[in-house]
Amino acid sequence: MIKSILKYIVVIALLLLVIWSQSWALCCILLLTCLLFWKASLFGFILKAQQKVSPIINKISEWVLAVVLALIMLWFVNSYILSFYTIKASSMLPAFYNNELIVINKLAYGPAIHPNKTDDYRRLNGYSEMKSGDIIAFFFPEGDTSFVDFTGEDYHFIKRQFETTHNYNPLLDGKVKANRVTRRQVYIKRLIALPGDTLSIIDGDYFVNNVPCAFNNLTIARYKVKDNAPSNEVDQMIKSAATSYRENGSQLIEIQSSIVHERNWSEHLSRVEEILNMPNTNVFPFKANYLWNASWLGPVIMPTKGKTVRLTLTNLPLYKRIIEAYEENSLAVVDGQIFINNKKVSEYTFKLNYYWASGDNKKHSFDSRYWGFVPENHIIGRVEKL
């Protein structure tokens, strides 16, 4: 009786996993399990076969079966539940440190299915919605093209600099290769804005839908120590800072904003940010006429799946990479007219949802400010601390 109940529990559990994951591999395992449980002749055939071979062969087959089952279990866990990753940068200080081991929770938002194919991409049901403030793992959106010999360099970033300055760059003579989504470098950043949100960066702080983000205080900002600051306070500031250095005769510190407020150091510090209306063409969307930089950006509305936007030559830089790279269309501008897939258009409907991500250590973070939106099919899962 107990054995029969256990059989049904195993089969029902496998059936639920098959329905949820829609995996052919799990479907095959379910069918094989049912045959072994209820097809007595098959089970008897296996027992007879075991008796006919030598004990050594039996032992080898048992080990092979155990290894195969273990590999299937590892594949399932890594594909659908969680994976481990070692952080390789300091962009998420102080939340996560360089070389820290983390868990990427794929169940939270639901595992991504067919992330390499925009038209076939979907996400299984998870137990949590993506929300602003979550720390996420995702495949680097600009990693679709990379240098063969210079693996640590961002091809698109260097190409944009070359096009802006027209200076010769030897990297551009190197061989390049195309990378599908799941073969790109993994990035760890904080989720700032969701599809449909209106994002702005004002004097270095993030605003979503005109409301300052609660996690602005968690970020590390750059401050200049005022000349009249007491020396004992300066010593404490330097000890509490993530980084401190002197520049042009002034003492600069990079410190978490919440510490500045908690210690009442605001009167002794002046925050160092880029100047309003001073364009930085290394910042998205890489056009001087936007007057955006890393400290002053937006407002920009996050693209939403199924939403149609009017296309003009003015806003095309915002969506150019989405249309061409992420959603796999051809794009051309001829005589001031926009053509997508060789058809003249005045609007575009997005196929995917898009997000904005940033590192907490903003002065040392290569994030959405420098390459734009994060497509939903690039998102792996939510980061959990061990």
Q: Give the residue carrying structure tokens 């734009």.
A: 372
Q: What is the pLDDT of residues 308-328, one digit of tens each?
A: 999 999 999 999 999 999 999
- DSSP H or E stretch at residue 16: helix 2-21
Q: How far apart are CA 197 and CA 251, in angstroms?
A: 38
CA 379 to chain centre: 5
Q: How far apart are CA 192 and CA 370, in angstroms?
A: 15
User: Does residue 266 register a pLDDT over 70?
Assistant: yes
Q: Residue range 139-155: average pLDDT?
A: 91
pLDDT band of residue 295 (cuts 50, 70, 90) is very high
CB of 311 closer than 8 Å to CB of 347 = yes
User: Does residue 183 register a pLDDT over 60?
Assistant: yes
Joined together, the tokens standing for residue 73 give: 């279990």
Q: What is the pLDDT of residues 192-246, one digit of tens each?
A: 999 999 999 999 999 999 999 999 999 999 999 999 999 999 999 999 999 999 9
Of residues 210 and 45, the one with the higher pLDDT is 210
User: Does residue 276 register a pLDDT over 80?
Assistant: yes
User: Exposure pattern of 295-314 as b/e (b: 16+ CB <10 Å)?
Assistant: bbbbebbbbbeeeebebeee
Q: Give the residue carrying structure tokens 């602003």.
A: 132
List Cβ neighbours of 252 (8 Å cut-off, separation of 6 or more).
222, 223, 224, 225, 244, 245, 246, 272
Q: Residue range 7-33: average pLDDT?
A: 73
Q: How far apart are CA 213 and CA 236, in angstroms?
A: 28
Query: How high is the pLDDT of residue 73?
Result: 82
Poorest-pLDDT segment among 137-141, 263-267, 318-322: 263-267
User: Does residue 300 register a pLDDT over 90?
Assistant: yes
What percentage of the chain carries pLDDT values higher than 90?
71
Q: Is 305 helix (H, G, I), strand (E, B) or coil?
A: coil
Cα atoms in the Cβ-side hemisphere of radius 13 Å centred on 194: 7
269 phi and psi angles, rounded to 5 deg: -130, 150
By residue count, the chain amounts to 386
Joined together, the tokens standing for residue 47 give: 């027992």
Q: Which of 217, 220, 221 is nearest to 270 (CA)?
A: 221
CB of 134 closer than 8 Å to CB of 192 = no
Identify any residues that bridge with 176 across adjacent strands, giving them in sequence order: 147
* DSSP class per residue in 94-114: TTS-TT-EEEEESTTT--EES
Q: What is the pLDDT of residues 80-92, one digit of tens each?
A: 999 999 998 899 9
Mean pLDDT across the chain: 90
Rg (CA), the chain: 27
Query: How high is the pLDDT of residue 306?
Result: 97
Q: Is 138 helix (H, G, I), strand (E, B) or coil?
A: strand
Q: Is 199 helix (H, G, I), strand (E, B) or coil?
A: strand
User: Does residue 18 register a pLDDT over 80?
Assistant: no
Query: How high is the pLDDT of residue 358?
Result: 97
Q: Residue range 248-277: average pLDDT?
A: 94
